[in-house]
Amino acid sequence: MIDRPLHVVILAAGEGKRMNSGLPKVLQPVAGYPMLEHLVRASCSLQPAGVHVVVGHEAEQVRGLLASIDAPRIDSVEQRERLGTGHAVQQAMGSIPDSARVLVLPGDMPLVRAETLSRFGGLICELGILTFVADDPTGYGRILRDEQRRVTGIREQRDATPDEAEVREVNSGVLAADAGRLRGWLDRLGNSNSQGEYYLTDCVALAVGDGHAVEALVCEDADELLGANDMAQLAALERAMQQRRRSELMAAGVRLPAPETVQVRGKVSAGRDVAIDAGVVLEGPIELGDGVEIGAGCVVRNSRLAADTRVAPYCVLEGVETTGAAVLGPFARLRPGTVLAAGVRIGNFVETKNARFDEGAKASHLAYVGDAGVGARANLGAGTITCNYDGANKHYTDIGPDAFIGSNASLVAPVHVGEGATVGAGSVVSGQAPAHALTVARARSRSIEGWKRPARKPRD
């Protein structure tokens, strides 16, 4: 590696008109995170002296993202007039010393690996570019070489001759140079081109004209360097990133019977013998212990599942933690703040929120448990509801160990159900249900002899 301070410049000022979106192009998501965030994190792994993000369109939105990234030495500089990539880099050069090495990256390149940037940054040259061979070079600047295969320049497609347009080696937009020399080339850029812009790529021809060899590193994996100018290209980036994420999981030993159907939209760590079935979506940070099984069609967000937890098909988990082997679903919805101990069973059409279930507790079907603690081995019958909201405030339900809640019971919080208590089916309980006692709170049934069901009036 170069033994000089490294400064990274990321170009994120563009609007991305072809996206037809109110969201700036660099904030469009790929695998659950904005494109720019992928790039910033890859850049920060190089431990640079500074990461300078050039912002422009919707600058405050982009700055908001940068503020949310927990990484040092990130700043932004605004390009008030969008006069081209060369002009954009100039805006960032004021805080970069001439003795530094500068790495310039386009803000819509989420697939580039930190290893690739590190290898490219290690080139010993005054100016280096990262290139790839495209099956379809449309839209990319073409790499021009002489008969000795030396780089002589980069021609943007709009300005290319028919012969130049046939070249398949293309510019990725990634450039590295000594800061002092780059500053001089930027100052000499002209805008005599079809767009009337100052192209960063013209620095290559200026360097060659000054007698400096330009090194071009051809990236073997062209997908790493793909960008996106419209939603179709964004979808292509998503497909490539998903394939990478699934391959990483399988390499770590995760079993994916139908890998092409699984979506990974965040960071997933998994133990041994984890199985994830078809159609599963994983979002945000997720930790899966040894032997976890996730059934078909589940959505899991921001959750930690302990070893041997089994999630049956078509469950939605968000902000859930299991601290031991639990059995969930099918068709369960577990919301943030749900914490489940070993042996807990949450069945079909059960919803939980901000609820703690201790070891062996069960809610097998058709229940809502919110703002509640459920003691060990307690059983909640079908139709049990914790009535936690009075229209203004949330209230807590405390259910003791070994309690038995009959079907269709409503627990009006704040309420305490004692250890070993039984609540009769159909009861509406508020206040207390004493330990080891039967609490029944319902009207006594009665039958009315001779009652006749109303009949419809005849139509006119």
Active-site residues, by number, are 365
Instruction: Round to whole Å and give the CA distance between 433 and 132.
Output: 71
Kindly report the three-state secondary structure assignment for every residue of 106-146.
ECCCCCCCHHHHHHHHCCCCCEEEEEEECCCCCCCCEEEEC
> Within its chain, how far is the Cα of 33 from the centroid?
4
Spatial CB neighbours of 312, under 8 Å, sequence gap ≥ 6: 295, 327, 328, 329, 330, 332
Q: What is the 3-state secondary structure (H, E, C) of 268-281?
A: EEECCCCEECCCCE
One DSSP character per residue, 17-74 reads GGG-SSS-GGGSEETTEEHHHHHHHHHHTT--SEEEEEEBTBHHHHHHHHHHS--SSE
Backbone phi and psi for residue 279, each to the nearest 5 degrees, phi listed first: 75, 15
d(CA 254, CA 232): 30
Q: CA 349, CA 312: separation in Å to the nearest integer?
A: 12
- DSSP letter assigned to residue 302: S
Cis status, amide bond into 401, omega within 30 of 0 = no
Contact between residue 363 and residue 380 where contact means Cβ atoms under 8 Å apart? yes
Residue 96 DSSP one-character state: S
Residue found under tokens 């290559």: 204
Query: Distance between the two ends of the chain, CA-based, in angstroms?
Result: 93
Contact 337, 320 (CB under 8 A): no
Amino acid at 459: R
Tally of CB atoms within 10 A around 58: 18
DSSP state of 407: T
Decide: 344 and 362 in contact? Cβ < 8 Å: yes
C-alpha angle 4-224-35 in degrees, rounded to nearest 5 = 85
Residue 357's closest CA among 370, 367, 368, 344? 344
